[in-house]
Structure 1
Amino acid sequence: MTNPFFRQIENKTGVEMEEIFALANAIQHADFTNEKQVRKIVRKVGKLANKQISKDLEDQIVNSIIKDGSSLDLSKIQKMMG
């Protein structure tokens, strides 16, 4: 990215904007009742956040999201990842 604003975000987070945009796109078009899609997004968020997610925690997050079925609350995932 050549935009200084995006470069600042990349420098601060250590995450390339292309990855953030790809995640945002996946979230925007995801079916939150589809366990496979939700697991993929949860793993991607963990990877971007540089957090190791145990299988148990992943299951809790996925089940919580699937239970709601219509939206994804990233702050909820962040809280669960601690």
Structure 2
Amino acid sequence: MDEKKNIFEQVQKKTNVKQQDLFKLANSVSQMDLSNETNVRNLVHQVAKLANVPVSKQKEDDLVKAITSKQVPTDFASLAKMFQQKK
């Protein structure tokens, strides 16, 4: 549990996004059809707003394409591993 808590603390420290907001987002995504372009675009907008980070139209299009074509892992462990490799 300490490792998970530490991950959330690191995310909050780097992004200023609260753990409870991440859980709300994760809960909404868990029921979402990520093969639906409209859903994914809405998700990208939600995440950008939550993190207070602008996303260009090109970046949005790239993210939507990657997610809808299942080029991005959807489980937390795989995502965490992917981000750790980019350090």
Q: What TM-score does the superposition give when structure 2 sets the normalisation length?
A: 0.59
1:31 corresponds to = 33
Q: Is the 8 A contact 1:32 1:70 kept in 2?
A: no
Residue 37 of structure 1 deviates from its aligned partner by 0.9
Deviations 1:10-51 (A, max 9, x none): x73433444222211122111111111111111111122221
Identity of aligned residues (%): 36
5+ residue gaps, structure 2: none
5+ residue gaps, structure 1: none
Q: Aligned pair count?
A: 71
State how far apart, in whole Å, the 1-side matches of 2:47 and 2:35 are: 18
Amino acid aligned to 1:61: L
Runs of 4+ in 1 over 4 A off after TM superposition: none
Q: What TM-score does the superposition give when structure 1 sets the normalisation length?
A: 0.62
Of structures 1 and 2, the one with the larger relative CO (CA 8 A, separation 6+) is 1
RMSD: 3.2
Secondary structure of the residue aligned to 1:22 is helix
Of residues 44, 47, 54 in structure 2, which corresponds to 1:45?
A: 47
Amino acid aligned to 1:14: N
CA change 1:35–1:71 in 2 (3 A) is: farther
